[in-house]
Structures are given as structure tokens and as C-alpha cells.
Amino acid sequence: MNKYLSLSPEVEQALQTGKPVVALESTIISHGMPYPQNVETALRVEQTIRDNGAVPATIAIIGGKLKAGCTPEEIEYLGKKGQAVIKASRRDLPVLIARGEDGATTVTTTMIIAAMAGIRIFATGGIGGVHRGAETTMDISADLEELAQTPVMVICAGAKSILDLGLTLEYLETKGVPVLGYGTEELPAFYTRHSGFKVDYRIDSPEELAAAFRAKMEMGLHGGILVTNPIPEEYSMPADVINKAIDAAIEESHKLGIKGKQTTPFLLAKIKDLTGGDSLASNIQLVLNNARLAAKTAVALAQ
């Protein structure tokens, strides 16, 4: 066991006995939503995973420990502290651990800690990717590199629609990451079901997802698998509405000089304001939808 890794008793027992476990990130708590919706959503997501037969493991860095399985009190702590918590990517881990500080885990760091713990399935909202204008800014999320090297299946609602989705898919293809569409051949774009881009393969059952991941592991192939699960139809936002809000948010971020790890939280908050809160409601529903699929896939993988 890694000496910096701390498993909750529930998660530790589940892993020891071969029960299905689903990892959850904590940046969505600290940076993805306002308080108290962030805490309420995190607890609903955990309950959704339990209702579908798996054990939730919310992952975070607390007091310099890599936590796999946060208590409700720890989730409340992260939710209240909000953006005062450091948004921790791979590069931040050594210093945060050495200093005994807190960190909210991105997709990247959640994958790293999940893999250390032996958790293979991870549910999130959307992954990071190649930002618009990356041909000049080189702003590319570390999530893509992590998918190329860390053996975790990430179930999401596609890449965040603030990104350049075409370049994100090209990057994942270069890195050999399978991009699977759950019940769809089209890449979903977070708030909306449609992007105009194709995924590599359509998959129609949790059992098939588990079989693909098992085959990848048994062949000794590096890296993970990205599963894109469209937001439920009733919560999908019209593409023209969300794209107009995204364009306005990106323009304002450029004017304010916002860059790096602050970009995504700024854009999500601005889009929420521009859509009158509709994007937040959609965000919550797509995370719950991904948690359901992740739990069912973890159950299939454990069998």
C-alpha cells in the first residue's frame, strides 16, 4: 500500500472482497458547482452508485493524504471551502503531499489515485481536452495524457463543450485511447447530446463496456478507456443556446486574461449565469446519469 494513500473502511473492505467500486472526483465539488448544490449533488451521486449495486469512492487530497473514500463531513468541508481548495493536477501532487495541504482532484488526479487503490471505474461530468485556440496557446488538459497511461475507465458526458472537440478526438486517437459512445455513434458534448463528431465504437450495455476494459487489461495495453454517455434527452440543452453562451464566456475570459487551471471553473460559472442556471441543472443530471452507468459497469466488471 502506498504510504500516502488512505482508504475509507468501506472502500477498503469492498476492494478486499472484490465488490464493485466507482471513483468520483472532487473538483466538481470545489470548483464545478456553488455551495450547497455541490455537496447535495456529491451525496446524491454517491447514493446513486449505492442504489445501483456499487460502492462510491469520492477522491480528494486532505491534509496531505490521498483519500479514496471521503466521509460526508469531508465532502461538506470541500464544498464549503470551494475554490479556496487547490485544484490539483498531476504536477501539484508532490508539493501538496509534502506540505500536508488539501487538494480537489481533477480527472487526472482522480485517475491516478483510483489506480493506486485498485479502482478501475470512474464517473465524472466531462473530461478536459484541447482548448479552443490551443494551436497558439498550447492549452491542452492533462486529462488526455492521463487517459493514455493510467488503467482506468472514465465514464463521462463527453468532453466539455467549451473545448475544441475535433482536436480533442484527434489527440486521443494519437495516444491510442478508445473513445466509446454508450448507445450512440456521436460524441456527446456535455450539455448537449450532439456534437457532429463520431466516436470510435458504439457500445450498448454495461457488460460490453466491462468486457472491453477487461480485454484491454488482459492484453497488457497501457492507458484507460473513455466512455461518453449522452446527457438524458429531457435535460439536454439546445446546441445553439449553449454554444452562444460558450462563445460569450470564452470572449470574456480572453478579455480578463484568464488562463490555465482557472479557465474551466470561470467558463462553467459564466455559462451558468448566461443560461439562467439551466446549465447547472443539466450538469447535475448528466453526472447522476454517468454514476448510474459507472455503477452498472463496475458490477459487470466484478462478476
pLDDT for res 66: 98
Strand-pair partners of 117: none
pTM above 0.85, yes or no: yes
**Residue 85: domain span:** 5-302
Q: Which of 87, 160, 270, 296 is catalytic?
A: 160
pLDDT for res 277: 65
- Does residue 25 have an active-site annotation? yes
Indicate which CATH number applies to the domain containing 291. 3.40.1790.10
What is the number of helices (H) and of strands (E) in the chain? 13, 11
pLDDT for res 261: 66
- Does residue 160 have an active-site annotation? yes
For 246-258, what is each residue's pLDDT tens digit?
778 878 887 888 8
CA–CA separation, 10 vs 14, rounded Å?
6
pLDDT for res 21: 98
Q: Where are the alpha helices (DSSP H) in the chain?
A: 9-16, 27, 37-51, 72-81, 93-99, 107-117, 134-137, 142-149, 165-174, 206-218, 239-256, 263-274, 278-302
Positions of the chain with pLDDT under 70: 1, 260-261, 276-278
For 284-294, what is each residue's pLDDT tens digit?
999 999 999 99
pLDDT for res 162: 76
Task: Count structural domains, the chain.
Answer: 1
Compute φ and ψ for 205, nearest 5 degrees: -150, 150
